[in-house]
Structure 1
C-alpha cells in the first residue's frame, strides 16, 4: 500500500504501525442541535451514537457473549471458514476496514491474506485514536506480515483519505454496521465508498439476514441488551446535563416486519418532563410514549445486493452460516 504523495504520512513498514489524523471533536460527533431536533419531532428518536461511551463499549463486548445474541459469533464463524476463499478470489489487495473494534475478526482476514499473498497492508478507519492503537497492538501481536495504518476520522473523512492509496483494495465493513444506518446515512456511506474505490476494487459487507421473529427478538431482549439501551439515557445525562430517570423508562425491542428491521426503543413509564440543561431544552413525554434508539436492518440477500447494485457494486459471492442467519457478501465495483 503506497501513497501518491510521499510528503504525507507513509504506511509503516517492518511490522510497525502509524496513525494519522486528529481525534474527531465531540461536538462533531455529538451534535446537540440534532439531538434537540430528534427529541422534538414525533415519533421521538436518539442517534445510536449515544450507545458509544466507555460503559456502552463494555456492555457491547458483554452482549457479544450472550447466548441469544448470535451475530458476533456467527460472523466470526463465517470468516474463520471462508477467509482464505475470499483472499483467493480477490488476489493480493490492501485491506481497509471501517471501524476496527478489538480486531478479533479482522485478524482472520489478515491471516488469510498474509498466508496466501505474503506481506499485507491494512488500514483501519475509526473515530478514536486509542481504539486504533489497541487494534494495532492486537493485530501485530498475532500477524507478522503486516503494515498497519490507522486513520482517525469519520467514515467519510477516512474514505476520502484512502483515495491516495495506490493499488487494488478490499474495503470491508463487518459487524452488521451497515444495518444500523438510516437510509440517508447508508446513502452517504455507499457514495463515499464508491468514490474512494477504483473500478475492480472489492467491498466486503457483513449483514444480518431477516428471519423468524422469535430469534431476532431474543437477540435484542436479553439482560445485557436491556442495560445497553438504558445506558443511552445515562450518556445523555452526563454529556448534556439531562435528568432522565432510568427507572422511569423500560426497554422495548421488536421486529418491524414491514420495514425488515429490528427496532430498539425506550418507553416512558409515566408522564414526565425531561430537562437537558446544557442544551437549554425541555420536553414533555407521556406515559407509553417511545423514544427510538436504534434500528437494525435484517435483509434478504438478493434485495440487498440489488440495492448496492444501484451504487455500482456487483455481487461476486456470498457466504452464510449453516442456519442461514447471517451473511458475508463480497462485491466488486463495476467499470463506469
Structure 2
C-alpha cells in the first residue's frame, strides 16, 4: 500500500474493491445497462460451455476470483452433464462471497465436489496442487485485465508452476473496441460508488482519513496502453494519514490516485502473452459483436510461437 501511494501517479491496489460492501456494489455494477462485460461473457458461456467441456474432457475446475460464481454455474453444469462427478475449487479473498458461490454452485449442480479457498490467487493455487488428474484453471470477468505488468507476470508464473503439462487455462477477457462503449461502462453511478467504497475500505483497514467528499471520480481510455483507467481526483489540497501504517502523504488540488486499470485485448496480443509462459492457444469463443472473448489455453512442454488466432 505505502509503495503504490508513493508512485507517480499514486495508486491503490484494486484488491481493496472487494470487501463486503465492494462485492455487493460490483454485483450491482454488473446489472448496469452500460456495463456490458458481465452479460456478454455470460452469454458466451451459455452458448459454448458444452463445447469447452468437450474440448478439455473431464477436469477439476479451479477458479481464480470466483465471486458468487453466477457465470461459473454454466460451466460447471456443462462438465457435470458431460462427465459426471466433477470437482470445483473456488478461490476468493472474500469469505462471505465464497459461501454464496457454494450456494449457487451446489444448488445448480449435483455430482459436484466443492472446495472453497479464502486467499490470494498465489496462496490458493498452492492449495490446489493436491488435486489429482487434469485441471482447468478459470479466470473470468477480465480479471487479468486488472493486473499491472509485474502482477500479471507473477500470476502467470504461479499458474504455470501450479499446473502440469496438458492442463488448461480458460480466460475471459474484454476485447478492444469503440472508446465510447468502454468509457460508458465505467462512468455510471455504481462505478463511482464502487471506487469511493475502495477508499472507505482503505480507511477501515488502515485507520485512514480519506474524506470522500474531497474527491471526484473519473475514468477514461488510455489508447497508448490499450486500457481503461479509473481515478479519484483531489478537489482540494489535503493530507491523508494512514495511522496503522504510520504513513501520511500530501495531495495537491487536482492530483489523482489511480484506483484501477482495465486492459483491453486483441486475440493476437493475448496469444503472445500466454505463449511466452508456455501455453498454447487452443480456441477462442466470442460474442457476435466481438466485445468479449473466452479463450482456452493449454500448458505445453515448451513455449509455442503463434502468429495469430482467429476468433471462433
Q: Provide TM-score, normalisation by structure 2.
A: 0.93
| TM-superposition CA deviations, 1:122-174 (whole Å, max 9, x none) | 11222333332322222111101211122232211221222222111111111
- Structure-2 residue corresponding to 1:226: 192
Q: Which residue of 2 aligns with 1:331?
A: 297
Which of 226, 250, 255 matches 1:260? 226
Runs of 4+ in structure 1 over 6 Å off: none
Matches within 5 A, 1:186-225: 186-225=152-191
Cα distance in 1 for residues equivalent to 2:119 and 2:212: 32
- The farther-off stretch of 84-93 and 279-288 is 279-288
> Once the two structures are superposed, what CA deviation does each residue of 1:50-83 show, in whole Å capped at 9, x if it has no partner?
1122221111111000000001011000000000
Aligned to 1:304: 270
Determine the structure 1 residue equivalent to 2:310: none
TM-score, scaled relative to structure 1: 0.87
Q: Could you tell me how far apart the structure 1 residues matched to 2:300 and 2:4 are?
A: 37
Q: Helix, strand or coil for the counterpart of 1:189?
A: helix
Q: Distance in 1 between matches of 2:117 and 2:28?
A: 27
How far apart, in 2, do the equivalents of 1:310 and 1:203 lie?
A: 14
Secondary structure, in 3 states, of the residue corresponding to 2:176? coil
SS across alignment from 1:235: helix
Is the 8 Å Cα contact of residues 17 and 194 (structure 2) preserved in structure 1?
Answer: yes
Asked if 1:131 corresponds to 2:103, the answer is no
Residue 259 of structure 1 deviates from its aligned partner by 0.4
The aligned counterpart of 2:71 is 105
Q: Secondary structure at the match of 1:231?
A: helix
Deviating more after overlay: 308-317 vs 96-105: 96-105
Q: Give the one of 191, 207, 216 matched to 1:250.
A: 216
**Contact 2:66/2:101, CA 8 A, preserved across alignment:** yes
- The number of equivalent residue pairs is 302
User: Using the alignment, how far apart are the partners of 1:201 and 1:275 within structure 2?
Assistant: 46
Given the superposition, is the C-alpha separation of residues 151 and 231 from structure 1 closer, same or farther in structure 2, using an over 3 Å criterion?
closer
- Aligned-partner Cα distance in 1 for 2:71–2:150: 28
Partner of 2:236: 270
SS of 1:179's equivalent?
helix
Q: What runs of 5+ residues in structure 1 fail to find an aligned partner?
A: 1-34
Residue 165 in 1 paired to residue 131 in 2?
Answer: yes
Give the deviation of 1:334 after TM superposition. Answer: 0.8
Pair 231,130 (structure 1): closer, same or farther in 2 beyond 3 Å: closer
